[in-house]
Chain A
Amino acid sequence: MSRIAGLRPRVGGLRPRAPGFVALGLGALALVTFPYWSRDWESSRYATTVLRDILVFAILALSLDLLMGYVGLPSLGHAAFFGAGAYAAAIASQRLETEALFVTLPAGVLVATLLALGIGLFAVRASGIFFLMLTLAFAQMVFSFAFQATDITGGSNGFAGVRRPELFGISFSAAEELYVLVAVSFLATAFVLWRITRSPYGRTLVAIRENERRMRALGYDTRAIKLSAFALAGALAGLAGALSAYSLRFVSANDAGIGTSITAFVMVLIGGAGTLAGPAVGAAVVILIERVLNSYIPFSQTVLGVVFVVFVLAARQGVVGAARTAWARARG
């Protein structure tokens, strides 16, 4: 997965050969079945939860990377769509009294998409720091709605008792099954993004990032294309949000808050913007440092800060970029 979507220096990328595909397939299978083959270890359950949370955030980071890495739109409000997806899935399940996955999950994705279309309509008019601040502003409005609309969202107390979904009689209420749902969603997201970024549409996005004026001169409606990418990113963030709601059975206003936006932002940057594996690696690094390492040392945030500085200085394309460079060097 690490060499798809080559960016910056090499647009296009190499084509994984057959052995590559086999290895990738085996890796994916191992990932999805983790709770089953690790079952006998004492820490299997805990590792499963940690891995599940990493994958949820990896989806969020991947979706943000579509904006940051490909279209060059640094959003500091991506949590709005994550939160919208989480609330929508939770509320749909409660109001419609259903646990059906094909109801609640689309509800989450749909609401997030619509919200992204609405916000994107204004936000994509700006770029750079102005885009960043506009997305922050809109996300803050979404957050305060979630925080204050107690009748709908549970307000500052949060939305408790989210039901885990079921699909055609398969229940995802147990930790293992839910994990599989999350892992499959992650792989599906990665696959979709892989296809998209390699498609003519994906190249258009990169071209807009590189030179929007030229693209406009060539007759592309760049604003509409950027809006479509924004909506797509919102939809995937909504998917992550819905999965988070199922996982935690709880949605808090924080899920739509600036803290979550910053976390996603940092994940993309650490892993490397403009790569597919990068955001996933970033999600793993951040969750491991902030939520696992912090059980053992009191200064985990300092570690995160230092990691950040080191990666910006030493590996400007993030963990994945650095690995790729090292690999290329090793091969001569």
Chain B
Amino acid sequence: MSPELAFLQALNGISFGALLFILAAGLSLIFGMMDVVNLAHGAFYMLGAYIALSVVRTTGSFWVALVAVPLALGALGLVVEPLLLRRLRGRHLDQVLITVGVALVITDLIRLKPDWGAEVRTLPPPDALAGSIAILGNDYPVYRLFVIAFGVTLALSLAALHRRSRAGALIRAGVDDAQMLSALGVDTDRLFAVTYAIGAALAGLAGVVAAPVLGLQPGMDVEALVLSLIVVVVGGLGTLGGAQVGAALVGPADTFGKVFVPQFALFFIFAIMALVLLLRPSGLLGRIRVIR
């Protein structure tokens, strides 16, 4: 492999990694705050992509979708959390289970909606990002570079929010000890609802950004869910840094794995995950958490 080819493949890998970070951020946030593995994450992602499809068809603008979809999914999160999850507060396993039911219903309804579900769809990137530019004398899609930029910006701004803002302080405190937070007079119901809504909004955002790359089709929900689970587990559950590290490792690894050992492509990233977990049982940046 020539250096030039290696560079291009590395670029492919980084852009896939950026995509994975966007995909996994919401899952990581919800887990960190609520100790709930939100198995509806893939369904939220899928719903986001299909709403984006409708928004782009009606308004003709990708950018409108980029704003509207997270709002819509956030609103859905604000309904789902109080309606279903709150009743099960303190029963983490049941909270995880109920998200499976939510996912089953959402994906089935998407399939049944005539202009959405069954067909294979694509969402074209916005015109401004649709072309290719020359990199080392090769055409390279601008949209992939946008994905990298978007992923990095999202990571930086989430990190800044996390460290600097009051919401971030609450979340950090909540991750450490939600009960204590409640005792201090913080409305944890509201905090959890908002966290869940943000997590859902991030899943929807991922749906919009990923749609021009990965397309829309039945089954995309499970794929997205498994990929984001791998990312957060490899990086370390429930920490933003974990999702970043996980994505930065898994994205390029997947790309190079496909190219170098295509016969193992089906499980290359699973093998990496298994290896990481065997060496570091709580992920690369994970702290050992005792959840009982």
A and B touch in the complex (CB under 8 A): yes
Q: What distance in Å separates the Cβ of A137 from its nearest Cβ neighbour in chain B?
A: 4
Q: A251 CA to B291 CA in the complex, in Å?
A: 39
Contact B108 A312, beta carbon cutoff 8 Å? no
Contact B237 A129, beta carbon cutoff 8 Å? yes
Q: Which residues of B sit under 8 angstroms from A308, Cβ to Cβ?
A: 97-98, 100-101, 104
Contact A133 B233, beta carbon cutoff 8 Å? yes
By size class, the interface of chain B is 35 or more
Q: Which residues of B sit under 8 angstroms from A125, Cβ to Cβ?
A: 278, 281
Q: Which of B7-15, B83-91, B143-151, B193-201 contacts A (4 or more CB under 8 A)?
A: B83-91
Q: A312 CA to B96 CA in the complex, in Å?
A: 10
Contact B98 A309, beta carbon cutoff 8 Å? yes
Q: What distance in Å separates the Cβ of A219 from its nearest Cβ neighbour in chain B?
A: 21
Q: Which residues of A sit under 8 angstroms from B97, Cβ to Cβ?
A: 269, 308, 312
Contact B266 A134, beta carbon cutoff 8 Å? no
By size class, the interface of chain A is 20 to 34
Q: Which residues of A sit under 8 angstroms from B109, Cβ to Cβ?
A: 302
Q: Which residues of A sit under 8 angstroms from B274, Cβ to Cβ?
A: 122, 134, 137-138, 141
Q: Which residues of B sit under 8 angstroms from A128, Cβ to Cβ?
A: 291
Q: What distance in Å separates the Cβ of A67 from its nearest Cβ neighbour in chain B?
A: 14
Contact B273 A137, beta carbon cutoff 8 Å? yes
Contact B273 A141, beta carbon cutoff 8 Å? no
Q: Which residues B218-252 have CB closer than 8 A to chain A?
A: 222, 226, 229-230, 233, 237
Q: A307 CA to B97 CA in the complex, in Å?
A: 12
Residues of A at the B interface (CB closer than 8 Å) are 122, 125-126, 128-130, 133-134, 136-138, 140-141, 143-144, 147-148, 258, 266, 269, 298-299, 301-302, 304-309, 312-313, 316
A137-B274, A301-B104, A302-B104 are known; give 20 further A-B pairs, CB within 8 A: A125-B281, A130-B283, A133-B233, A134-B273, A136-B270, A137-B271, A141-B267, A266-B100, A269-B97, A269-B100, A299-B112, A301-B105, A302-B109, A305-B101, A306-B101, A308-B100, A309-B102, A309-B105, A313-B84, A313-B88
11 contacts between A and B (CB under 8 A): A122-B274, A133-B277, A137-B277, A140-B267, A301-B104, A305-B102, A305-B105, A306-B101, A308-B98, A309-B105, A313-B84
